[in-house]
Structure 1
Amino acid sequence: MSRRVRGISFVAATACAAMLLTSCAGGGSGSSNGNASAQTDKVSITWDMWGGDEKSEKWVKDTAEIARKQNPDIEIKTQTASWGDYFTKLTANASSGNLACVTSMNGQRLNTFYQTLSPLSEDDLRTAGINPADFTQGALDILSYDGKLYGIPYDVAAMLVYYNKDMFAETGTPEPRAQWNFDDFLAAAKSTTTDAHKGFGVGMGEFQWMALPIAKSGVQPVTKQNKLDLTNPDFLEAAQWYAKLVTEEKVADPVPSASELGWGEEQYQAGNVAMAVDGTWNAKGYFTNEAGFKAGAQRLPQGKNGSYALVLGSGFGIAANCQGAEREAALKVLGSLLSKDAQDLLASSGRSYPARTESQPLYFEALPEEIRGEVKTAFEAVFTGLTGQNSASTWQQVNEYFTPNLVSVYTGAMNISDMLASAQSQFGN
């Protein structure tokens, strides 16, 4: 989405566009990280967030207004960029130490940017008015790295198996149960595979494909010491099982090209496959799909050691370059962005599932009544006993390497064990 700039010259607007993740306003009233305004005695704090659509932009605007009302002595500015542009420009601004005081961060990308954020102490949380006990169990793991807390999540997410109830009914296949295992999953994929459609859509995104191998093995491809562990024997065996869903079991089609990044999820959304793995953030869209089928969702199957799934999400941190009075003001803004009022707004908007537990019931109330009960049941099952994600500093490069090679794996041109061994060799740290 283009960012609208008002009341400044063309030259100044061009400068703003070039520094989208830094604060820019006419008259020199703003700064990249929140300096005192030249026009008022207020400390000026900028909050950077990704957007890209009208609904997201409205949520940012309304959430910022809540923070302003709670902090009348702080000037709060907002800046947004589309999801892809946000992290590209964040990289550029991080290299110059010029981040906004309140910087939004996705948990899967923290390993790349944690050094640009300031670790949060217990005193910081008290200044922000944040009590960790108010948030979903394990949620603070989302923005933790190497034992340090770098942010507080505003939402929590987990991976689910979404399924097409109509296809299950047409083939006489029992619907998944909360305690199902991988034998049950494979049996369902085989039973729902017909001449007209496949039983499963394989993934290309990191957790769209890795969630099942992680759940099956009970092992993450990164150690708790943040070391890449792609060739761990248990994870490797589970990854081979996953690839065979296409190459041997024939319950899934290969992916046509590396450009099909949302292959499995899009096939499911279109009503072309019976099951796919995706995050809780897409639950509303799947349950109200335009293809017209009746959707269901279930937690990931249990592996030989029981249930194992990761807690995911995004949140807000304080930039390392934000110091002194600005940092204290930024902490107060951080607390307001995660306050009950702000989390209630997030839940009611249906944008995502809030991290603050007392706000979570409002998320379900915002759903259409006909799907509310089933989504609530699926969420209650999946948000139990989740584990924090381990992440290596090279994780982004690893996933970029996987994208084209997964296409070769699914066609049978490459063995997934070779793909993982090569990634471990190139990016192991």
Structure 2
Amino acid sequence: MARPRIAVRAAVALALTLAGTLATACGAGSDGSRTLTWSMWANGGEEQQVWQELADRVSNEDPRITIKLETSSFDDYFTKLATRFDSGDAPCIVSMQALRTTGYTQGMLPLDDLIARNKFDVSDFDKSVLDGLSADGKQYALPYDVGPVILTYNKDMFRSAGVPEPRVGWTLAEFESAARKLTGDRQYGFVAAPQDVSMFPMVLTRSGAQPTDGAGRLRLTTPAMTEGVQWYADLAAKEKVAPRLPAPDPAFSDREFLSGNVGMGTNGPWALLNLRNQAGFQVGLTTLPAGPEGSRTYTSGSGFGISTSCPDPEGAFKAITLMTARKQLEWLGGVGRAYPSRESAQHAWYDNAHLAGAREVLEAANATAIPLRTTKNWEQVNRQLNQYGPDLFSGASSAQHVLEQVQGQAGQD
């Protein structure tokens, strides 16, 4: 039965009104302007200022785009993001770490069609971090940084103790010797912690063990992994060249290193801003000490994606392409917040690092670095490692027992 013309006109008018209301609620203006929310982690006011400036720089580049920044600490970020994905009210632009991508794809929009439709060239991005921000053959984020896990050290402490500063290619035996010589009078040679980016690179260089197999299954109980983790934990529990971990604390490593009471710790080039501005001592960089197969490490990075609940994916895609443009990544590299994911922008990090030997260290680390492959429930794995860490690092529990617990609770057959 045909509908009366007046009813059709009324229905069309109502639909247009609702569409206009939705567009306004989503931040899209009739003149093509748009307001997009962006969720990012920030540990401290300085980092928050950097991300706010990046948002402002994008708006300066394209005045039609306004980015509303929301931040939380890294420790809380992914838990909050999962909750917002589940509730369907996630921000349009979401920040993602390569290690955790596979666990959050249910709330993120694959970018492949947008990349193809906009003819966006990704060839300048480091391939390892592009791969890390993808899952099941789909790209979920555009990277802003990349970098290998390296060793940072307190130059002042080495100088005071009369210990030669570590050089590229140094060995585990030299690392252990330096850690012993630096320890004493409420000071420690190294800081060890059960976080993924802190512990697994050191285990890799010590025993070659990786936490997952080629198919993405958790493999924490292999002999090589057990041996490597026990050695790492014993730096605190038996050798006492590292401070005890008093309670589950994801910020333990950075806080202990910045206190000036620890000689060495693992970190990455992404941490330069905090280290340079917060450390009351000269910071040095070197490669992880070489084990039986040489110095080995992991590379990781982060980027910006689009949530499935974003009503304006085209606008969000435009924003993240501007956020990861060479101009912006050169700026991020210059202020020390990112080792740029674009190879053409990496010179800016070196130009402004003001750390002797930084290029040699990063190039040597990059030459052997491999992506840290994780599982879909990696957040759970990391949380449990933190939970059982205090007993492991005090010697109250063994690596075998802890790894069996985590494998049993979070593992996949």
- Larger Cα Rg: Structure 1 or Structure 2? 2
- 1:396 partner letter: E
Q: Counterpart of 1:424?
A: 407
In the alignment, does 2:290 pair up with 1:302?
yes
Task: Assess, with a 3 A threshold, how the Cα gap between structure 1 residues 188 and 67 changes in structure 2: closer, same or farther.
Answer: same
- How far residue 427 of structure 1 moved from its aligned partner, in angstroms, is 0.8
1:142-291 aligned at under 5 Å gives the runs 142-195=132-185, 197-259=187-249, 261-287=250-276, 290-291=279-280
- How far residue 29 of structure 1 moved from its aligned partner, in angstroms, is 5.9
1:7-406 aligned at under 5 Å gives the runs 30-31=24-25, 34=26, 36-37=28-29, 40-42=30-32, 44=34, 46-50=36-40, 54-68=45-59, 70-71=61-62, 75-83=65-73, 84=75, 86-121=77-112, 123-128=113-118, 130-195=120-185, 197-259=187-249, 261-287=250-276, 290-292=279-281, 294-322=282-310, 326-367=312-353, 371-406=354-389
Q: Matched residues in 2 for 1:296 and 1:346: separation?
A: 21
- How far residue 133 of structure 1 moved from its aligned partner, in angstroms, is 2.5
- How far residue 228 of structure 1 moved from its aligned partner, in angstroms, is 0.8
Q: Matched residues in 2 for 1:155 and 1:207: separation?
A: 15
- How far residue 54 of structure 1 moved from its aligned partner, in angstroms, is 4.7
- How far residue 47 of structure 1 moved from its aligned partner, in angstroms, is 4.0
- How far residue 315 of structure 1 moved from its aligned partner, in angstroms, is 0.6
- 1:417 partner letter: Q
SS in 1 for 2:293: coil
RMSD: 2.8
Q: Deviations over 1:40-99 (max 9, x none)?
A: 142636241325555444444443344345556x54432312235543442232113333
Q: Matched residues in 2 for 1:66 and 1:128: separation?
A: 22
Q: Matched residues in 2 for 1:151 and 1:304: separation?
A: 36
- 1:296 partner letter: G
- 1:307 partner letter: S
Aligned length: 390
Q: 1:71–1:332: 8 Å Cα contact kept in structure 2?
A: no
Unaligned runs of 5+ in 1: 1-26
Unaligned runs of 5+ in 2: 1-20
Task: Assess, with a 3 A threshold, how the Cα gap between structure 1 residues 329 and 287 changes in structure 2: closer, same or farther.
Answer: closer
Task: Assess, with a 3 A threshold, how the Cα gap between structure 1 residues 180 and 332 changes in structure 2: closer, same or farther.
Answer: same
Task: Assess, with a 3 A threshold, how the Cα gap between structure 1 residues 56 and 411 changes in structure 2: closer, same or farther.
Answer: closer
Q: Deviations over 1:212-236 (max 9, x none)?
A: 1122222320223221111122122
Q: Deviations over 1:18-56 (max 9, x none)?
A: xxxxxxxxx87644xx5643xx14263624132555544
Task: Assess, with a 3 A threshold, how the Cα gap between structure 1 residues 276 and 290 changes in structure 2: closer, same or farther.
Answer: closer
Q: Counterpart of 1:8?
A: none
